[in-house]
Structure 1
Amino acid sequence: MERAPIPPRRRILVVAVVGAVLLVLLALAGLSAGWLAAAAVLALAAVTGAAFSLGVAQTSRSSDAGHPGPALASVPAPDAASPHADFALQQISLSTEEVERVRGLVGEAVQTLMDSFSGLTAEAEEQLALVSSLAHGDGTVGQHEMSFRRFVEEISETLASFVGKTVENSKNAMLLVEQMEKIRHEVEQVTRLLDAIGAINAQTNMLALNASIEAARAGEMGRGFAVVADEVRGLSGRTATFSADIRAVVGAVQGSVAEAETLIHQVASQDMMFTLEAKNRLTETSGKIAELDQRMGATVEVLRHRAGDLAGHVGDAVRSLQFQDMVSQLLAHVVRRLLEVQGALASASQEDRAAAMARLQGLAEELDRSPVRQSALEGGSVELF
C-alpha cells in the first residue's frame, strides 16, 4: 500500500517546528560564540522560507496539474495537521521558557562577577592603605601609633644620645686616670719625704750615740749630758718607728692607687673602644635603615601604582560585563520571535494561505532588525526597548 503524500500544510508546520528548534539551539550556542543575532535571523529565515516554499510548491503543483488560477489559492482546513501544530506550539512555548531561564542565569552570573570585582577592588585599596600606614603611619597627632620611619628616627636619636653619654664618660674616665697618675706621683713624693725623714732620724741617732760616748768620757761632769743623749736616742727610735708605719701606709696607698689607675685606664680604654664601635655600628645601621625606609617607600609607591592599575583593569572588566544588557536584549528579541511564530502557527488555521504568507513575510522583515548592532563589546550601540 502506497504512503499518502504529506499535505502542504503539514509540511509547513514541520518546517516551522524544525525552525523553532534550530532557533533555540543556535540561540543557546550563540551565548558563548557571540553570533546570537545571526542565529535568530537564520532560524526565522528558515521558517519564513518554508512558508514561501509552500506557496511556490502549491503554485507549481497547480500549474502542472492543468488547473490555472491565482498563485495563492485557498487550501483546505488543516485539520489533519492539528497534532503537528500543537506540537510546534508546545515546543515554542518550552523554548521561550528556556530562553527566559538563560536570561536569568546570565544576569545572575554577571551580577556575581560584578560583586566579586567590586570586592577585589575594595580589598586592594585596603591592602594599600595598610602598607602605607605601616610605612608612613596615619599622620594622626596625639595618637600612640608610630610609623616605621618615626620609630627609626627615635631609635637613632636614643643611640646617638647613648653614644654621646658614653663618649663623655670615657672622657671623664681619662681625666680620672690623669688624676690618679697625679696622686701616684704625690704618693711617691711622700715616700721620698719619708726617706729623708729616715735619713735625718739616722743622723739624730748617730749624734745621740756620739753624745753618750762623749758624756762617758767626761765622767761625773758629763752625766747630765748623757741623760739628754739617751732621750734623744729614744726620740730617734720612736721617730723611726713612726716613719716605718707611715711608709707602710703610704706603700699600701701607693699600691691601691696603682691598681685603681690600672683599672680606670682599662675601663676608659674599653669604653672608648665600645664607643667607637657603637658609633660605627650606629652609622652603618642608620644607613641601612634609611635604605630600608627608601625601599619601603618605593614599594608603597609601586603598590599604589599596581592598585591603580588593578582598579583600572577591574573597571574595564566591569564595563565589559555590560554585555549582559546586550545579551538580555537579544534574548528578549528571540523570545519575541518565538512568540510571533507561535502566534502565526496558532492563527494558521484561521487565515488563508495568501494572508499567512503576507503576514509571515512582514513579520520576518520586522524581526530582522536586531536590537544590538554589534558583534563585539568594543563598539556598536544598544537599543533599549
Structure 2
Amino acid sequence: MATSPLVVEVAAHLSVIPKLNEQLAETSRQVETAVVDICQHFQTIADQARRGVQATTALVEGGHGDSFGTLLDRMQDTMRAMDRRLTRTSDRALQAIKRLEELEASLSGVFNNLDQIEELATALRLLAINAKIEAVRSGDRGAGFAVVADEMQRAGKESRAIAEQIRDGVAHMTTETSELAALLREGAQSDLTSIEASRTQVADTSEALAKNHQMLQQRIREGAELSRSLAEEISASVVGLQFQDRVNQRIGHVTEALTHMRDALGHALPAIDDDTAEARAERQALVERRLHETYTMWEERQDEAPSSGDVELF
C-alpha cells in the first residue's frame, strides 16, 4: 500500500528536528558567552571607576607622596622666596644707580681739574714764549735759557694734549655712565612694577588654587560615593543578567520535547517503502531549503554550510 502524502510530509519535517536542536544548543552557548562577556565588561567598568577614584584621592591626599595641600604650601613658599630675591635684586639695582650717580658727579669734578691743567699748560706756553724773547735779547748768554724755554713750551703742549685726551675719555665715561644709570633706573622701575604685579597674581592664584583644592576634594568625595553606587548597581545588574542558566534549562526542555516528539512520531509513522523514499527526500530538501531561507545571521548560514562531499541544496 502506498504511503500517504501526510506521512511523507511529517517524515520530512521530523528530519529537520535534529538541526533545530543544534540551532537551539548553539543559541544557548552564544547567550551564555554574551552574558559572561557583558558581566565581565560591567565588572571591569566598576573596577576602573573604583581605581580612578582611588588614584585621584591618593593624588590629592598624598597617598603616594606629598598631598596637594602640601604642594600648594610649597609653591606659595617658593613664590614668596622668589619675591624676596627679586626685591633684593631691585634694591641692589637702586644701590648701583646711586653709585653711578656718585661716579657721574666725580667725573664732573675731573672736568674742573682738567680746566686747571689746561690753564697751567697755557701759562707754561706763555712763559716759554717770554723766555725765548729774553734769550734772544741776551744773545749768547741766553742760549741755555732758550733751551729751557723750548722744554717748557713742549711740556705745555704735551700737558694740553694729555688734558684733551683725558677730557675726551672722561666725557665718554660720563655718557656711558649716564646711559647705564638710565637703563638701570628704567629696569629697576620695571622690576618694581613687575614685583608688585607678581605679588598680586600670586595672591590671587593661591586663593584660586585653595578654592579649587576644596572643590576638588568635594568632587572626589562625590565621585567616591558615585563609584560605590555604580559598583552596587553594576553588581545588582550582573546578578540580574545571570539568567543563562534559566535560558539553558528552558532551551533544554524545548530540545527534549522536540526530540521526544520526533521519536514518538517516528515510531507512530508507518514504514516508508522505496517508492515514497524519493518523494520524502525531495520534500525534506524543500523543508531544509525553506528553513535556510529564514536565516538572517551569518552564524546561522555558517552553521548550515555543507561540508566536503555534501550536496548543496541552495
Q: TM-score range by the shorter chain?
A: 0.5 to 0.7
- Residue 121 of structure 1 corresponds to 50
2:86 is aligned, of 159, 168, 182, to 159
Q: Write the letter of the residue equivalent to 1:124.
A: V
Q: Deviations over 1:325-347 (max 9, x none)?
A: 9969x999xxxxxxxxxxxxxxx
Q: Deviations over 1:330-382 (max 9, x none)?
A: 999xxxxxxxxxxxxxxxxxxxxxxxxxxxxxxxxxxxxxxxxxxxxxxxxxx
2:172 is aligned, of 259, 267, 270, to 259
Aligned mates of 2:154, 2:49 — CA distance in 1: 100
- Residue 147 of structure 2 corresponds to 234
TM-score, structure 2 normalization: 0.54
Q: CA deviation at 1:261?
A: 1.1
Unmatched runs of 5 consecutive residues or more in structure 1: 1-93, 141-145, 213-224, 333-385
Greater relative CO (CA pairs within 8 A, separation 6+)? 2
Aligned mates of 2:96, 2:244 — CA distance in 1: 89
- Residue 277 of structure 1 corresponds to 190
Q: Is the 8 A contact 1:107 1:324 kept in 2?
A: no
**SS of the residue aligned with 2:144?**
helix
Which residues of 2 match residues 1-385 of structure 1 at below 5 A? Answer: 113=42, 115-130=44-59, 138-139=65-66, 148-209=75-136, 212=137, 226-320=139-233, 323=236
Q: % of aligned pairs identical?
A: 11
Q: CA deviation at 1:266?
A: 1.0
Aligned mates of 2:142, 2:59 — CA distance in 1: 102
228 and 107 in structure 1: CA distance in 2 versus 1, 3 angstrom threshold: same
More helix by share: 2
Q: CA deviation at 1:283?
A: 2.4
Aligned mates of 2:42, 2:115 — CA distance in 1: 96
Q: How many residues align?
A: 223
Aligned mates of 1:306, 1:281 — CA distance in 2: 36
Aligned mates of 1:269, 1:162 — CA distance in 2: 17
Q: CA deviation at 1:128?
A: 5.0
Aligned mates of 1:130, 1:157 — CA distance in 2: 30
Aligned mates of 2:75, 2:232 — CA distance in 1: 39
234 and 132 in structure 1: CA distance in 2 versus 1, 3 angstrom threshold: farther
Q: Is the 8 A contact 2:117 2:159 kept in 1?
A: no
Between 271-280 and 159-168, the greater mean CA deviation after superposition: 159-168
Q: Deviations over 1:16-55 (max 9, x none)?
A: xxxxxxxxxxxxxxxxxxxxxxxxxxxxxxxxxxxxxxxx
Q: Write the letter of the residue equivalent to 2:89.
A: F
Q: CA deviation at 1:268?
A: 1.6
Q: CA deviation at 1:182?
A: 2.0
Unmatched runs of 5 consecutive residues or more in structure 2: 1-23, 68-72, 246-314
Q: CA deviation at 1:262?
A: 1.0
Q: Write the letter of the residue equivalent to 1:289.
A: V
Aligned mates of 1:273, 1:326 — CA distance in 2: 75
Aligned mates of 2:239, 2:151 — CA distance in 1: 128
- Residue 347 of structure 1 corresponds to none
TM-score, structure 1 normalization: 0.45
Aligned mates of 1:153, 1:125 — CA distance in 2: 33
Q: CA deviation at 1:280?
A: 1.4
Q: Is the 8 A contact 1:191 1:250 kept in 2?
A: yes
- Residue 25 of structure 1 corresponds to none
